[in-house]
């Protein structure tokens, strides 16, 4: 891999652009420090043109949010024949879509908080739709991350406000039953759990501020659970990743209640890699320093849809690569 030209794709056009840049900068410094040939590729609306003018053998996707985690950039890279890190198109789309991922969790008997989805056009009928669902509830955009546009609602007026906030980021809003419990995250590589960390946000809710500002949360690794329950949480995270078909480095967010119940909230196919991010903390507890983790992510770069796809322009500036190509069997 050290002989290949690696492009760190960072930025993007989502509400999580700033975090994406931090992730990309951190991964760039780590890989460059280990002797890799890396360059930063800032992603905007003209990313297809930029990629055609940039000689890279593989792409490290260091981005978050819409058009980044949802299969869009993955699909572009597939059609251009550029191997990339993280999950494939379908798994990325399913994990990013919180409604579809929860439907898959139910299909695979992965416990998740009860929920319903409402379209922004139907918000005038929110009281009728919410009906007997009850409070407190938790509101979030159907697609998104970093707790952007998300928050708790303890009554109808607050529910309406939260839904309006979420509607700024997605036409669909997901309303969940608010579960009281410990915030726990599991880090995984290729579907195998590395460990679980417990998050103790000082503000009571693990929001954007708690995630990205130092000193706003305390972390306990390993999570403060009994050995049997700890192993159960790891197993549950592995089942959740399997349900959506995610690969590479992933993170599963869960809630663990005092009455011996665990609930999966979501699977993150491109978890944050900033100094305060959870996956690097978990990996460190499993014996991977930050550089080791970045190398492990790069080593898993591949194409996933079909082999034999020519590079962009078939003779343009993007060369054919010798990276591993995975072919999904036809159904």
- Give the number of other CB atoms < 10 A from CB of residue 116: 15
Is 87 one of the catalytic residues? no
Catalytic residue among 137, 268, 277, 302: 268
Catalytic residue among 14, 101, 137, 146: 146
Catalytic residue among 272, 277, 295, 300: 272
Is 266 one of the catalytic residues? yes
Catalytic residue among 251, 288, 302, 304: 251
Is 289 one of the catalytic residues? no
- Give the number of other CB atoms < 10 A from CB of residue 105: 22
Is 115 one of the catalytic residues? no
Is 164 one of the catalytic residues? no
Is 253 one of the catalytic residues? yes
Is 331 one of the catalytic residues? no
Classify the C-alpha dihedral 262-149-170-89 as positive or negative. Answer: negative
Q: Let me know the angle formed at the C-alpha of 36 by 34 and 38, rounded to the nearest 5 degrees.
A: 125
Catalytic residue among 11, 16, 145, 206: 16
Q: Are 115 and 142 in contact (CB under 8 A)?
A: no
Catalytic residue among 115, 212, 230, 288: 212
Catalytic residue among 78, 253, 262, 295: 253
Catalytic residue among 176, 183, 266, 295: 266
Q: Are 267 and 101 in contact (CB under 8 A)?
A: yes
Is 3 one of the catalytic residues? no
Supply the residues annotated as catalytic. 16, 146, 212, 251, 253, 266, 268, 272
């Amino acid at each position: 891999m050290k002989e290949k030209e690696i492009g760190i794709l960072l930025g993007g056009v989502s509400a999580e652009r700033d975090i994406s840049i931090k992730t990309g900068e951190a991964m760039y410094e780590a890989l460059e420090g280990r002797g890799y040939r890396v360059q930063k590729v800032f992603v905007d609306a003209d990313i297809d043109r930029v990629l055609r003018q940039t000689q890279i053998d593989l792409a490290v996707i260091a981005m978050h949010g819409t058009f980044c985690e949802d299969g869009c950039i993955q699909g572009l890279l597939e059609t251009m024949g550029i191997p990339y890190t993280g999950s494939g198109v379908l798994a990325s789309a399913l994990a990013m879509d919180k409604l579809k991922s929860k439907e898959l969790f139910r299909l695979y008997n992965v416990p998740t908080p009860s929920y319903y989805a409402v379209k922004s056009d139907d918000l005038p009928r929110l009281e009728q739709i919410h009906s007997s669902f009850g409070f407190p509830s938790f509101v979030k955009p159907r697609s998104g991350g970093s707790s952007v546009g998300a928050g708790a609602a303890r009554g109808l007026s607050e529910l309406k406000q939260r839904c309006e906030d979420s509607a700024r980021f997605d036409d669909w809003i997901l309303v969940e039953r608010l579960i009281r419990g410990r915030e726990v995250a599991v880090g995984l590589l290729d579907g195998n759990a590395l460990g679980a960390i417990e998050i103790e946000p000082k503000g009571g809710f693990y929001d954007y501020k708690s995630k990205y500002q130092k000193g706003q949360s305390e972390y306990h690794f390993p999570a403060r659970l009994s050995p049997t329950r700890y192993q159960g949480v790891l197993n549950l995270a592995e089942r959740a990743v399997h349900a959506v078909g995610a690969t590479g480095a992933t993170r599963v967010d869960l809630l663990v209640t005092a009455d011996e119940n665990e609930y999966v909230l979501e699977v993150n196919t491109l978890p944050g890699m900033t100094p305060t991010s959870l996956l690097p903390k978990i990996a460190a507890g499993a014996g991977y320093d930050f550089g080791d983790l970045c190398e492990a992510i790069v080593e898993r770069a591949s194409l996933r849809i079909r082999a034999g796809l020519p590079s962009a322009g078939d003779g343009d500036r993007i060369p054919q690569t010798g990276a591993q190509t995975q072919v999904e069997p036809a159904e």
